[in-house]
Structure 1
Amino acid sequence: MLDLSLELVLILVAAAFAAGFVDAIAGGGGLITVPVLMLAGIPPTQALATNKVQGVFGAATAAISYARKGLVDPGQQLGAAAVAFAAGLSGALFVTSIPTQALYYFLPVLLIAIALFFAFKPGLNDIDRTRRMSPEMFTLSIIPAIAFYDGLVGPGTGAFLMLGFVMLAGYGVLKATAHTKLLNFASNLGGLVAFAAVAKPLWLLGGLMAVAQIAGALLGSRLAARIGSRVIKPLLVVTSSALALRLIWQLL
């Protein structure tokens, strides 16, 4: 681990707790942890790799918590999770060979559109609606595309998955949130496998942050399961908007 002071480590651990809480409800935890890791003096690629270390634990915790509440059956998602793992691994392997700068110009527009959709679209609640795409087609098209993006870039993956489940799979907001977590775990894990080979993640720091991620994810998923779309929608709007503004700031 880098020569980090105790105060800085505690700040990183606190950031991981907040990220786990936010990510379990609406996605976007990386919006909190990646900038803090880089502000701590960790090089960008190594910060992304370390973020994957702690992120997989938060996503796994949220997935387990939602499954225990009966909101998702992980057994039915194993095939989709395998696809997400392979796509996340592929995205991370291509991170140095695909020009990603163009994505950073497009992402703020897409994230703001997602925020506006969830803020103003009438009838978005926890009730399922008409399915517009078969589960098989969703698994073979939407999931690998978003998971590849997760390995390649990462920000906003949870929001993109949630939008896909709501708009195309016909899920209610809470059910959509629950179904994103195992897939986000799988794509994170795939990215971590690739990053571990080339980016030298800080395993000890990532492990410390993972403990806080688990605690935050437990709290966030339990709150979301109890309150549903009333807490998920506002937090999704806030995190998507904040991520868009941060990306715009970076570009400027």
Structure 2
Amino acid sequence: MVVFRLITSPVTSAVTLKIPVRKARSLTESSIFLSEQPVYSEAQHKDNFMIIRQKMMDTSFMNFSYFAIMFMVALLAGFINVVSGGGGFLSIGALLLSGLPPANALATNKIQSLGSSLTSGIYFLRRGHIKVQQHKYVFLAAFMGSALGTTLIQFIEPALLKKLLPVLIITVAVYFIFAPNLTEPKKKPPVSLFLFSLICGAGVGFYDGFLGAGAGSFYTLCYILLWGYSIDKAQIHSNFINLASNIASIVFFIFGGKMIWSLGLVMFVGQSLGARLGATVVLARGKKVIRPMIVIVSICISVKMLLDMY
């Protein structure tokens, strides 16, 4: 008996066929099957299949319709990322549903999410809404924190953090529902620049590199509570700091060899277009749109994570 592993499409699972040896010889001559090997354990077959599948994805095996769907997903995720944060849940979910292994999905998601933070960052910078000199230490701290988080996630399983995450995100939603006026900035930041850089930059940056879900909302919350910004100004700067953590994650995921560049670059374009639209909305109607968007996205993310766990 010979076991064959057959990939039927880029977005479906492999098919396992057990065929008598004499029939298998004639089938392998047609080059339909990817491999022929003796019967091994299921774990060995899974490892072999994942290696083959990753190599095929890196050579742009996927078809046009798949790329088109993922482009539209990235477009919507980019808009959400800029307006409220949390678009990564949509894009990562789509990548996992398409059949990518979790490590590849996380790495590829970082390529495309760079599109939203880069596009929105440039848009806000050109219009004078971000003073780079005032936030350079936060930016640098976010880069270093994300680099550490991205390195660790490739070696350990964040089981405890995944269980705590729905509670944290629900807390964010509750705050934005019941918090007093968020449209007026505070006269003086509640904490020092060093402490703010440590918590918002290094802390949230580490989380963004380690898991990343809803990091934009956490950046926004830090800018409101710890730096005294109004909600629209906080959201603008959260996109800028998120750029640092995205760049760091991409660099360190490249070293891990998990990127699927063809798919990531297509989604990068989608994210960029969605982010451009989102940035326009933030400047035009930010104070009215950002708060309800953060609440809605946070609740949806929490419900989705709780359903996945239980």
TM above 0.5? yes
Note the alpha carbon deviations across 1:64-120, whole angstroms, 9 max, x for none.
112223221123322321221111111011114444111111111111111111122
Structure with more of its chain in helix, by fraction: 1
Distance 1:31 1:78 in 2: 28
Q: What is the alpha-carbon distance in structure 2 between the residues aligned to residue 180 and residue 167 of structure 1?
A: 13
Answer whether contact 2:103 2:154 (CA < 8 A) is retained: no
Q: Secondary structure at the match of 1:94?
A: helix
Asked whether 1:128 is paired with 2:191, we answer no
Which residue identity does 2:267 align to in structure 1? M
CA contact (8 A) 2:84 2:217 kept: yes
**Could you give the per-residue CA deviations for residues 35-57 of structure 1, whole angstroms, max 9, x where no partner exists?**
10111111111011000011112
Equivalent positions of 1:1-252 (< 5 A) are 1=57, 3-125=61-183, 127-129=184-186, 130-252=188-310
Report the residue type matching 2:125 in the other structure.
A
Give 2:77's aligned amino acid: A
Any idea what the Cα deviations from partners look like across 1:138-160, whole Å, max 9, x if unmatched?
01333101101111111010111
Deviating above 4 A after TM superposition, structure 1's stretches of 4 or more consecutive aligned residues are none
| Conserved 8 A contact 1:91-1:152 | yes
Aligned pair count? Answer: 251
TM-score with structure 2 setting the length:
0.78
**Compared with structure 1, are the counterparts of its residues 71 and 144 closer, same or farther at alpha carbon in structure 2 (3 Å cutoff)?**
same
- Checking the alignment, whether the CA contact within 8 Å between 2:142 and 2:200 is kept in structure 1 is no
Equivalent residues of 1:128, 1:172 under 8 A apart: yes
Taking only the aligned residue pairs, the percentage that are identical comes to 33
CA distance in 1, matches of 2:154, 2:121: 30
Preserved CA contact (<8 Å) 2:113 2:271: yes
How many angstroms does 1:16 deviate by?
0.4
Q: Provide the C-alpha distance between the structure 1 equivalents of 2:127 and 2:175, rounded to a whole number of angstroms.
A: 27
SS in 2 for 1:51: helix
Gaps (5+ residues) in structure 2? Answer: 1-56
Q: What is the DSSP-based 3-state SS (H/G/I as helix, E as strand, rest coil) of the residue aligned with 1:123? A: coil
| Structure of greater Rg | 2
**In 2, Cα distance between the equivalents of 1:140 and 1:102?**
22
Higher deviation after alignment, 140-149 or 71-80: 71-80
Distance 1:249 1:151 in 2: 24
Indicate the SS of the match to 1:155.
coil
Q: CA RMSD for the aligned pairs?
A: 1.4
Residue 173 of structure 2 aligns to a residue in which SS? helix
Matched AA of 2:130 = V
The 2-side partners of 1:235 and 1:64 are apart by 22
CA contact (8 A) 1:69 1:225 kept: no
The structure in which a higher percent of residues are strand is 2
Whole-Å Cα distance in 1 between the matches of residues 219 and 195 of structure 2? 14
| Secondary structure at the counterpart of residue 228 of structure 1 | helix
Give the aligned residue type for 2:185.
Answer: D
- 2:153 alignment partner, SS class: coil
- The structure, 1 or 2, with the larger RCO (C-alpha pairs under 8 Å, 6+ apart) is 1
